[in-house]
Amino acid sequence: MSIRVISGSAKGKKLKLVPGDSTRPIMDRVKESLFNIIGQDILDCNILDLFAGTGSVAIEALSRGATSALLLDIDTQAIRTIQENLRLTHFEERAQVRRQDAFALLRTQPEAAFDFIYIAPPQYKNMWRTALEALDQNPAWVAADGTIIVQIDPTEQHQMPLTHFTLTDERRYGNTLLYFYQRTATQLQNESTHMIETSHAQLEKIVHELMTLYQVSAPPVPIEKMLQEPLAGLWREYNIMDISIGFLTTKSLFGPRMSLARFLVRVISTSDWGIAQGLRPMSDSSLHYHPFARMLVMPATMIAELRQDARTPQLMSVHFEVPEDEATKRLDELAAYGV
């Protein structure tokens, strides 16, 4: 038996099934609906699949433009199947596979927060509730604007009293129910304030240093060159065509450049050079790398050189080659910082 990943660079690849799993054709329809809901939000994100099974959900995410995936399962046969499916779809380098108990993992401190966490454990054992409670007790696993997705049978439906997360959506497809959880508004506000107070000046300084190193004095900032031709002592060279087809298929004007900027921020933050600049803690949350990416493609020094009437989202979009909504956010952030 086999299933197919239906989009992206894994299109048409036949994946192996875990023996005895006869529910996968139905799950394929649910998976397609799920990724239609997520849409472009999957681009340049990372995903944690806690009960990975065949790995099909994480592989679909990678095929649609996710940067990386961590796949867990405690079953040895499932791990072999996941590894084989990653080999078939050529995503081995962008995925980590671990044979590990999900609950034990969630009790530890994460090296990085995840943009999406997928919970689809064996049914009728309330394991999803245990996993969700573990994340609520250790919310550092979830990025500030991240999403927890739970897949269960409707008979397992239960309203969970949570401190750090709120149920924002639910969808039912036959005998499958999807829950979507995100950070509470209060916690997001507190984290955003902390980011403004502690890291803005440091990030702007690092951006200025990078512009000096690359001798960039006017937009657009050469994101592609910085990825493909890093200066000695910075980060390793990347071939953009090997990153993901998802970066190249977004319909948003200048969207691929913004995706590459966020990818570059991840690269910088985990490079020896970035760590030496104190960036390691900032790589743990999209609350930091999304603003950092905007700083990188729209440096404050270049914005300051614009005429006042040119500092509009529409004109900055063309000037810096970024989506208008990102230009709007950058202007809002500069106003918040008093720049």
Tokens at residue 327, please?
Answer: 């230009």
List Cα–Cα distances, 181 to 33, 132, 211, in angstroms. 17, 9, 39
The predicted model scores a pTM of 0.60
Rounded-to-integer distance, Cα 319 and Cα 332, Å: 17
Rounded-to-integer distance, Cα 233 and Cα 190, Å: 36
Secondary structure letter of residue 308 according to DSSP:
G
pLDDT for 212-247, tens place per residue? 999 999 999 999 999 889 998 898 887 776 565 555
Q: Where are the domains of the chain?
A: 2-183, 188-336
Highest mean pLDDT among 15-24, 197-206, 309-318: 309-318
**Cis-peptide into 220, omega within 30 deg:** yes
Neighbours of 187 (CB within 10 A): 15
Q: What is the structure's pLDDT at 83?
A: 95
Between these two residues, 250 and 331, which has the higher pLDDT value? 331
Rounded-to-integer distance, Cα 311 and Cα 246, Å: 30
Q: What is the CATH number of domain 2-183?
A: 3.40.50.150
pLDDT for 129-149, tens place per residue? 999 999 999 998 998 788 999
In contact, 225 and 257? CB cutoff 8 Å: no
Q: Is the pLDDT of residue 93 over 70?
A: yes
